[in-house]
Each structure stands twice: as C-alpha cells, then as structure tokens.
Amino acid sequence: MKNTTTTIQEKMGNAAVKQAIGITPAPYPILALGLFCFMSFFAQSCASLLGGMGGDQGSWDDGQAPVYDEMTNPVSFTILQMNDVYEIAPLEKGTVGGMARVATIRNRLLEENYNLLTVLAGDFVSPSLLGTLKYEGRPIKGRQMVETMNALGVNLVAFGNHEFDIKEQELQERLNESYFEWLGTNVLHQTGKKLEPFYKESYGYKYYLPETYVWEVFDYMSGKPIKVGFYSALLNDNQADYVYYEDPYQEATKAYLELMNSCDVVIGLTHLELNQDMKLAALLPKTKLIMGGHEHENSLDTIGNVVITKADANAKTVWVHRFTYFPETKTTSLESELVPINNDIADDSTVEGIVDKWQQIQRESISQLFDNPDEVIYTANVPLDGREKSVRNFQTNLGGLISASMAAAASKPVDAAFFNGGSIRLDDQLLGNITAVDIFRALPFGGPLYEVELKGSVLKKALEAGLENKGIGGYLQWHNIEYIEAAKTWKIGGKPLNEGKVYRIMTNEYLFLGKEARLDFFNQKNFVKWETARKGDTNDLRGDVRKAVVAYLKVK
C-alpha cells in the first residue's frame, strides 16, 4: 500500500511540472494575461498581479487590500461541444449543420457567460471531399477545417482516429496552422525508434502538446481562478505508422490522478467507442463529464456520477454544458443541452466567409467535370454501401455499380471490370436522391479508366491478390466476375476462367499503374495491349471514373 501511495504522489509531482510547461503555449500568454487583467479590473485585484510582476505588491491606489478577496460565490462556466465534424458547410440541402451557424451559437453563449470553452472531441481533418482536392497546387487535407475552426474560436481538441488518415507532414502543417490546443494523452509521435509528443511549430519555436490541459475559469467577483482540468483518450485501433498509441485507460488514469490533485473540476475529452467511454467513466468516477466522439449519433449516458455525451456528426447538433462550481462545498452542478444546428440559426458572417471560400474551391473543382453538379442523377431506393468496413471486405452494391459503370464506358465490350475498394472514400451509405457531388464524395481521387487485354493467367493472379487484400484498400470490387469459394475457382461472364485465353477488362488508374498492394505485377509489361481516353477528349467517359458513373446512373 505504501508503495502505491508513493507512486501516485510522484505522478502528481510530474503533473505539476507538465502543466507548468504545457498549459500556456505561445501565443496564448498575452491573451491569457489580457483576459485576466480585463476580468480582474472589475474585482480591483489586478494590482496583485502587476505588483507581483513589478515587485511592488499591494500598492493599489491608497494601498487598501482588494475588496473581494475570498471566493465564496458560485463560479459558472460553459463548454460548447462538437465531435466528428468533416463538413464545414450545411448538409442535406442546407437544412442541417454548418460551422457558420455553430459560430452564431457560440457568440450567443459568450454573451451569456464569458467563461466559455469551445471543444471538438476528435475526427475533423479527414475524410472529406474538399480534403482530397488541391488548392494552390497542394492537397487540401483538412486545411479548410483548421482554418474554419480557428475562425470559429475552437479552444481545445482531442485527437480522433481520422486525424492520422493524412500523411505525417500534412498533419504537422495542420498542427502548425491551428490556434487551438490539441490534447495528446495517449498518442505519441513515432519517428524511427524515437517517441515524443506531437508538436506545433511556429517561427522556429517547437511547442509540444500536453497530456493534460488546465483551463483557469475566473470568478468575476474575486478575480480568482478555479481550475478545470481535461484528460483525453483515443481508441488505439486504426494504427498509423507514425503514431504510437499508448493504452487509453492507463494514460487517462494517470492524467486523471494528476488533475484530481490540482484541479477543482475534472473533465474527459475523448475519442473512444461508447462502451469504452463507459468503462473509462467507471474507472475514473470523479470525472464530472466525458465529452466523446467516434459515434456519429447524439447520446447522453450516465455511469455512476459521470455524464457521457456525444453530439451528432457534422455539427448537426452540438452540446452546451453549463457548469456551476460551488467553492464552499467544492461541488459542481451540470446542465447539458443538446442544440440542433439548422436553418433557423443565422450564419456568423466571418465564418460564413471562410466556408464560402472553400465551397467555391470545391465547386470549381467539380465543375471542371460537370456543368450541373447538384442535378439529381439517380434515386437509390436501397442504401448503396460505401462504408470502409464493407468495401474492403466483401462485394457491395455500390462497388458493383461503379464497376458496372466502368464496363459500360468501354469503347468495345469488355469481359469484366474491377477496381480497388480503397478508392471508395465515402465511409457512408448513399440513399435517396444522388447527385454528381455524391459521386465525387464516393470517389474523390477520380482518374482515367483503362481497357486492358491480358492473359487469363495474369487476370487470375490479380483476382487472387485482391482476395488476399481482404480488410485493406486493395480488396477488389468487381463486375461480371464470380468466385466459387468451395472450389477456389473463378468465373468470368459466367464461364470458368481460362488461363490461356486473352480477356478484355476495364480497370482504374491506381490498379493500372501497379500501385496496389500485392498487385505490382499488374502493369503494362504483363498486358497484351491497353487503351484509354485521349488527353483532353471530354466526351470519352474513360477520361474520369466519376464521369463514367454519372453517365451510367443517368440512364439506369
């Protein structure tokens, strides 16, 4: 028992150091000081701060002590929670979501209580259609999101699993661009064998992300702060090679113990599955609130005294958490309100300007291929499955539809068509009215189609490699192909695959270039012949897979 106590105390000691380094990154100190002085002015206690700095303590006017010294009044503060936001503009024909509307809600909350923190519980830099496009010659990769979040006034985020979809260098750029704090309780940056926290870099200054975050909430009357501490936890599946995922429960527990020692209120900002958040709540029972993400539907659960909340993805709703801390009893009350974000809420003009700029970039990109991107081209009566866990593991109706479109775009009839499931980036299902924009969302990379003649033996090898790629992006989606699992044989157009015969197939650019895992042999050296659209021929549907899909759906 004695040993355990010592260990905890040691950890708490470390915490104090970490917080001292971690909580006030540049350029926050100036802001923080300004805010402190602003509030303290009312309480006439800025003197102690200024005095402390100038070495002349207690010299406020006639030397009297501050009027309001003791903090006995309740201190109230508000947290605005979002999670899993991939789209900055409203969705569903403009009826739901939209970051400019969230900004309006935030402005209203600021008027109600200046003690406001705006947070996002992970998953925002990826995936999105905009993120896959290019701007100023470089892939956008979440830049639109960070710029919007900066303008909105987000203060604190947790890492979500999708933050690591983008390349290491791209994430570094997003970190450097962000004005908000990132909480990295159980994620470390892995470079070779070295492990260190992720960092932000500006003007040559490296600022390492903290494991805990402490928000000082000032009492208007006394000018004194209470401390609200945050820990995080990220699910450790979906591994990226430049990230080291520590155990979310262990690291959150360490952070919690540190914060319990130094803070008045302790809160979790996590990105876990709901059942994991519940387990965490049971483990860390004095947590007041866990604001989570990953699930895309809103929820409110209670485990013991811990409240767990998740908002709907893409800011279709946000949570507003209103806290009151009572210094005399050291207790906290919490009222959580789920606020729908819809077209009853006006846009904040600053954020709207940024969203519009990026929407324009998206429109210009799509209109290079389509005159009328918002025209309804097809109505899906059953959900078309473009979820990652589906398209990388079995044949889906959306995968079949895309490969049938590819076959239909051929200059002369082909025996079959296939492409890598990983080129579907929708991670969602399409239902109801479908537009070219949806097809862009499903196939953001686009690229030409290739009609290839190849020996049956090469075709068989390619299809088998596709099966071995089950679970990853190199799993193939196909048309006119059948695999008879019991016999481990293939049928092409209903007939057994003949290894000596030459087949004509249609495929996409990624496969044609031999870029896919286990499919590097699938290249021009092993083809009998091949053809594609001539460059600049806008009438040839083989010019871009999305043109082929839209044309196919229009007549279907």
Binding residues for Zn ion (CB under 5 A): 123, 160-161, 294
Q: In what order do the strands lie in the sheet with 299-303?
A: 213-218, 225-234, 265-271, 289-291, 306-310, 299-303
Which of residues 123 and 246 has its CB atom nearest to Zn ion in the complex? 123
Cβ of residue 162: shortest distance to Zn ion, in angstroms? Answer: 6
Strand pairing report for 75-82 and 116-120: parallel
Cβ of residue 273: shortest distance to Zn ion, in angstroms? Answer: 9
Residue 443 CA, chain-centre distance (Å), reads 19
Which of residues 98 and 127 has its CB atom nearest to Zn ion in the complex? 127
Instruction: Output the CA torsion 8→10→13→14 (10° steps).
Output: -100
* Alpha helix ranges (H) inside 23-135: 28-43, 46-54, 99-112, 129-132
Strand pairing report for 489-492 and 495-496: antiparallel
Interatomic CA distance for residues 90 and 498, integer angstroms? 52
Which of residues 162 and 546 has its CB atom nearest to Zn ion in the complex? 162
Interatomic CA distance for residues 49 and 40, integer angstroms? 9
Which of residues 225 and 473 has its CB atom nearest to Zn ion in the complex? 473
For residue 359, give Cα distances in angstroms to 84, 369, 435, 496.
Answer: 19, 16, 16, 49
Burial 170-192 (b: 16+ CB within 10 A, else e): bbbbbbeebbbbbbbbbbbbbee
Asked whether 251 and 264 are in contact (CB, 8 A), the reply is no
Interatomic CA distance for residues 546 and 270, integer angstroms? 37
Cβ of residue 86: shortest distance to Zn ion, in angstroms? Answer: 10
Which of residues 161 and 287 has its CB atom nearest to Zn ion in the complex? 161
Cβ of residue 156: shortest distance to Zn ion, in angstroms? Answer: 17
Interatomic CA distance for residues 303 and 65, integer angstroms? 45
Asked whether 424 and 390 are in contact (CB, 8 A), the reply is no
Tokens of 157: 């985020």
Q: Identify the helix (H) or strand (E) that includes residue 399.
A: helix 397-408
Which of residues 123 and 451 has its CB atom nearest to Zn ion in the complex? 123
Which of residues 160 and 543 has its CB atom nearest to Zn ion in the complex? 160
Which of residues 106 and 310 has its CB atom nearest to Zn ion in the complex? 310
Q: Which residue is nearest to Zn ion (CB)?
A: 294
Cβ of residue 157: shortest distance to Zn ion, in angstroms? Answer: 13
Interatomic CA distance for residues 22 and 211, integer angstroms? 8
Cβ of residue 365: shortest distance to Zn ion, in angstroms? Answer: 26
Asked whether 210 and 249 are in contact (CB, 8 A), the reply is no
Which of residues 124 and 207 has its CB atom nearest to Zn ion in the complex? 124
Cβ of residue 297: shortest distance to Zn ion, in angstroms? Answer: 13
Which of residues 198 and 503 has its CB atom nearest to Zn ion in the complex? 198
Interatomic CA distance for residues 492 and 429, integer angstroms? 28
Asked whether 107 and 351 are in contact (CB, 8 A), the reply is no
Which of residues 189 and 294 has its CB atom nearest to Zn ion in the complex? 294
Cβ of residue 439: shortest distance to Zn ion, in angstroms? Answer: 24
- Taking alpha carbons only, the member of 252, 290, 267, 264 closest to residue 11 is 252
Cβ of residue 181: shortest distance to Zn ion, in angstroms? Answer: 19
Cβ of residue 283: shortest distance to Zn ion, in angstroms? Answer: 21
- Side-chain-side CA neighbours of residue 13 (13 Å): 6
Q: Residues near 439 by Cβ (< 8 Å), separated by ≥ 6?
A: 377, 546, 549, 550, 553
Which of residues 170 and 451 has its CB atom nearest to Zn ion in the complex? 170
Would you list the DSSP string of 332-381?
Answer: EEEEEEEEE-BTTSPPPHHHHHHHHHHHHHHHHHHHTT-S-TTSEEEEEE
Interatomic CA distance for residues 271 and 308, integer angstroms? 12
Cβ of residue 271: shortest distance to Zn ion, in angstroms? Answer: 6
Cβ of residue 76: shortest distance to Zn ion, in angstroms? Answer: 31
Which of residues 124 and 450 has its CB atom nearest to Zn ion in the complex? 124
Cβ of residue 183: shortest distance to Zn ion, in angstroms? Answer: 15
